[in-house]
Structure 1
Amino acid sequence: MKQVNIGGVPEHFNLAWYLTLKNGEYKEKDLNLRWHDYPGGTGAMCKALRNKEIDIAVILTEGIIKDIIDGNPSKIVQTFVQTPLVWGVHVAHDSPYKTINDLKGTKAAISRYGSGSHLMAYINAENNNWDLEKDLDFKVIKDLEGAVKGLIQGTADYFLWEKFTTKPLVDERTFRRIDDCPSPWPCFVIAVREDFIESNREDLEAILKIINNTTKDFKDIPSIDKSIANRYEQQLEDVQEWLGITEWSQDLIDKETIMKTQKELFALNIIPEIADYETLTYKL
C-alpha cells in the first residue's frame, strides 16, 4: 500500500478529509493517506512541501501562490473551498482597542512571515487606507495558541484568523472581535509537489475523486452541523451560519482568479512579479 502524506489546518473546513479517511475510502484504492495537522497554517505547510514532509497540502490560495513564486516546487491542482475566508480581526478581551482605526501602527500577531495571517494584515491595512510601511508591524506567534499568549501578555496587539475557528475564544472572553476582513479570493486550494504529480498522477486523481464526491454533497450529510459543532467545540448556530456561506469546489482555479489574486499581492509588494497561470497550476 502506497503512503501519501497530506497536510491541512485542524479546522472545520477539512472535516470532509477526516470523514473519507474514517470510512477507509483511500485504502480501497490501495492508498495509505496520512493526514497531518498544521496548526501553524499556510507558512508551516509551505515549508513542509519544500522539505518533502508532505506530498499534498490543503492550503490558503494567497500563501501558496506567494511561495510558488518564491521557489516552492509545487502546483495548484484544484480549488477546495470556493468562497472567501472570513478573517476576524481580534484583540485581547480587555484590550483598550475598540475600532480598526485604533489598531493603526500597532503590532499584528502573525503565525509566520508569508502566512495567511501575515498577508491578510496587508489586505486589512489596504482596506482601511493605512500606510503599508508605517502603519504595519508584526510579531511572530506560530499558531492560535501563541496568539492567545501574545495578545493577553501584550507582546502583540491584534490578530487575524478565521472567525469561526476563533469564535469559541470570543465566546469565552479571551478575544474580542472588532471587525471582519474577507479574503478577496477563494480561500483554500489543493497544492501538490511537482515530483509527486509526475510520478503518482493516477493516485492523485483517485484521491481527488474521493474527496470531491464527499464535498459535492457535504451539506446534505445528515446532522453534519451537529458533527462539526461537537468535533470543533463550536456553537450550533455558528456552524449553521458558516455552512450557509461556504461552498466547496471540485474544479481547478481559473486563470482570471489567479491573475486577480496576483495583482492584489503584487500591489501590496507581497510578490515580486506576476507569474504565468501555467507556472502556478497543473490541470490533471
Structure 2
Amino acid sequence: MKNVKIGGVPEHFNLAWYLTLKNGEYKDEGINLRWKDYYGGTGSMCKALRNGDIDMAVILTEGIVKDIVEGNPSKIVQVFVQSPLIWGIHVANDSKYTSINDLKGTKAAISRYGSGSHLMAYINAQNNDWNLEEDLNFEVVKNLDGAVEGLVDGKADYFMWEKFTTKPIVDKGVFRRVDNCPTPWPCFVIAVRDEFIENNLEELNTILDIINNTTSDFKSIPSIDKTISNRYDQKLEDVQEWLNLTEWSQENIDKSTITNVQNKLFELNIIDKKLQYPEIVYKL
C-alpha cells in the first residue's frame, strides 16, 4: 500500500475528495491516501509542500504560482475548480464601514502572508484604484476563527474569504458583507511536489483518475445539495446557488492562464520575476 499525503481547505469545494476516500476508492488501487485539513489555507499548504509534510495540495491558483516562482519545489498538474472563486469582503456587523471606498487605507485581516486572503487584497485594491503601498495594511489572523475574533475585537477592519463559506457567519450577524471580488482565473488547482511526481507517476495518475471520475458527475449525485448543506452548515438555497456557479475541471491549466496570473502578480509587485510555463506546470 502506497502512502500519499494530501492537503486542502475544509470547504465544500473538496467534498469530492471526502466521498472518494469514504468509498475506499484509493485503497482499492493500493493507495493509502491521507487527507489533512488546512484551516490556514494556501499559505500553510505552501509551507507544508515545501517541508514535505504533504505530497499534494488542492490549492488556490495565485498562491501556488507565487510560491513556485519563489522556489517551492512543486508543479501544478491539474485545474480542480475551473470557475472563479467569489471572495466576499467582510466587516464586523457593527462596523462603521459600509462600502469598499470606506475600507481604503484600513487594515485587512489575512490568514498569513502569501495566502489567498493576502493576494486577493491586492487584486481588490487594484480593482478600486487604491495606492498599493499606502492603502493596504495587514493583520495576520491565521484562519477563519482568527478573522472573526480580529474583526469583532477591532484588530482588523475587513476580511476577504470565500463568500459561501462565510455566509453562515454573515447570517448569524457576526460579519457583514460589503462587496464581492471574484478571482480573474480558475480558482483551485492540484499541486504536487516535484519529488513525488518523479517517483510516483503511476499513483498520481490513478489518484487523478479517481477524483476526476467523481467531479465530472458531481452535480448529478443524488441529493448532493442536501449533503453539502448538512455537512457544511449551509442554507440549502445558498448551496444550490453555489452549485450553479461552480464548475470542476479534469484538465491541466493552460499557458495563457499561467501568463495572466504571473503578469498580474508581477504588476502588483507580489513576485519579482516570471517563470516559463514548464517550470510551473507538469503535463501528465
TM-score by length of 1: 1.00
| Cross-structure match for 1:94 | 94
Q: Measure, in 1, the Cα distance between the counterparts of 2:176 and 2:143.
A: 18
Q: Measure, in 1, the Cα distance between the counterparts of 2:68 and 2:131.
A: 27
Q: For 2:237, what is the secondary structure of its paired residue?
A: helix
Q: Measure, in 1, the Cα distance between the counterparts of 2:177 and 2:154.
A: 16
| Cross-structure match for 2:61 | 61
Q: What whole-Å deviation, never above 9, does each CA across 1:192-238 have from its counterpart, x for those lacking one?
A: 00000000000000000000000000000000000000000000000
1:110 aligns with 2:113: no
| Cross-structure match for 2:167 | 167
| Cross-structure match for 1:240 | 240
| Cross-structure match for 1:35 | 35
Q: For 1:91, what is the secondary structure of its paired residue?
A: strand
Runs of 4+ in 1 over 3 A off after TM superposition: none
What letter corresponds to residue 81 of structure 2 in structure 1? V
Q: Measure, in 2, the Cα distance between the counterparts of 1:33 and 1:124.
A: 36
Q: For 2:49, what is the secondary structure of its paired residue?
A: helix
Q: For 1:113, what is the secondary structure of its paired residue?
A: coil
What letter corresponds to residue 105 of structure 1 in structure 2? G
1:73 aligns with 2:73: yes
Gaps of at least 5 residues in structure 2 are none
Give RMSD over aligned pairs: 0.4
TM-score by length of 2: 1.00
Gaps of at least 5 residues in structure 1 are none
Map residues 113-192 of structure 1 onto 2, 5 A cutoff.
113-192=113-192
1:32, distance to aligned residue in structure 2 (A): 0.5
Q: For 2:178, what is the secondary structure of its paired residue?
A: strand
What letter corresponds to residue 115 of structure 2 in structure 1? S
Q: Measure, in 2, the Cα distance between the counterparts of 1:244 and 1:275.
A: 35
Q: For 2:142, what is the secondary structure of its paired residue?
A: coil
Q: Measure, in 2, the Cα distance between the counterparts of 1:67 and 1:260.
A: 16
1:274 aligns with 2:249: no
What letter corresponds to residue 236 of structure 1 in structure 2? L
1:2, distance to aligned residue in structure 2 (A): 1.1
1:139, distance to aligned residue in structure 2 (A): 0.3
Q: What whole-Å deviation, never above 9, does each CA across 1:122-171 have from its counterpart, x for those lacking one?
A: 00000111000000000000000000000000000000000000000000
Q: Measure, in 2, the Cα distance between the counterparts of 1:204 and 1:164.
A: 30
Q: For 2:209, what is the secondary structure of its paired residue?
A: helix
